[in-house]
Amino acid sequence: MNPTLDIPVARLEDTFFEIVTLENSRFELNRDNHRHDFFEILWFTSSPGTLHSIDFSFYPVESDLLYFLAPGQVHAYEGEVPSGYVVVFSLEVFSTIMNPQLRVLFNPFMNSGIRIGEAQKGVLQQLAELMVAESRGDKNYFILLCYLKAFLMHIARTYREAVFAFDKSGQRMSLLFELLEAHYRKERHAAFYASALGITPKRLNEILHEKYDLTLTRILHMRLILEAKREIAYGKKSLKQISFELGFSDQAYFSRFFKVQTGIMPLEFRGRIFRLPERDEAKRFSEE
């Protein structure tokens, strides 16, 4: 009997919000690849010299680095548990309090984290403790929303100064990422997204180059590869089925695309994520 290869899903059950110290986290920081059905903020306040992975790429665990994970992203951590906080909240909370500027924080293309300075650290620490106290007490929905929004706005201000200006172009980029998430499987042309944003394809790529040093084509390729890695890692679909669902005309074309973008073939990538002791399982994945 073959082992299940599904990446487990951590669920936010019976609550809409929680904040705990990483040392006491019930969300199992020390574990293999897993996904969330909620939004998560990781704030490390120590530097144990370890790494964690987000969507199969590795990032440092260092003091005063914050990471933002959206539902569906794949996360893993091994080694000594650092000090810090984990903040989790539901999609309903996200939908209620978020504006376009704050949505950018949870952009799945930008996972390298945000480093805060001493000036922000004190304010964020106070807000974190207020959230801890409220979540352990009455857990008033609206009070927690206010604290969380203030927490994110302070981070966004740091983020804006370092990486991103929340001007009209920045707001367009926030909308672009929502459009990409909804249509990347079917729409591969800049004209579609530019039209939805009310600008020309040339201007769209100019903004992307200015803000991220990327083109729309590159972003679309990144999103396709990210989804392909998730599907390959989940283990229940054949390569043929994954290729078709991602909009590729045939499996061979998809495999070549994957190799060009990642440097390895899909089956090799899967082998790095999981140990496949049975040759039939590997054969089924590649040939179905």
Q: Which of 184, 185, 165, 183 shows the shortest CA–CA distance to 174?
A: 165
- For the chain, 288 residues long, the average pLDDT of each consecutive 10-residue run is 54 87 66 85 92 90 94 85 92 79 77 88 95 94 94 81 55 82 90 94 90 87 89 81 91 95 90 53 47
φ, ψ for residue 43, nearest 5 deg: -120, 105
Element of type H or E holding 158: helix 141-162
Taking CA atoms, 92 is separated from 113, 136, 201, in Å, by 24, 20, 33
Are residues 230 and 55 in contact, defined by beta-carbon separation less than 8 angstroms? yes
Report the alpha-carbon distance of residue 224 to residue 218 in Å, rounded.
10
Tell which CATH architecture fits domain 168-287: Orthogonal Bundle (1.10)
Pairing of strands 84-89, 39-44: antiparallel
pLDDT computed for residue 167 by the predictor:
61
Sheet with 57-60: strands ordered across: 9-10, 31-36, 74-77, 51-54, 57-60
Task: Give the number of other CB atoms < 10 A from CB of residue 41.
Answer: 22
pLDDT the model gives residue 287: 47
Helix (H) or strand (E) holding 154: helix 141-162
How high is the pLDDT of residue 2? 31
What's the confidence (pLDDT) of residue 162? 44
pLDDT number for residue 213 = 81
Task: Check the CA dihedral 228-231-236-237 and report its sign.
Answer: negative
pLDDT at 29: 61
pTM for the model stands at: 0.75
For the domain bounded by 9-162, which CATH number is listed?
A: 2.60.120.280
Query: What does the block give as tokens for 159?
Result: 């983020």
Q: Where are the domains of the chain?
A: 9-162, 168-287
Which pLDDT does position 74 carry in this prediction?
87
pLDDT, position 170: 65
pLDDT at 37: 87
Cβ partners under 8 Å of residue 90, min gap 6: 12, 15, 16, 17, 38, 39
Instruction: State the DSSP H helix or E strand holding residue 212, giving kind and residue range, or none if neither.
Output: helix 201-212
What pLDDT score was predicted for residue 12?
81
* CA-based nearest residue to 219, from 270, 183, 250: 183
Q: Give per-residue burial for 231-243: e unless 16+ CB within 10 Å, then b.
A: bbbbbeeebbebb
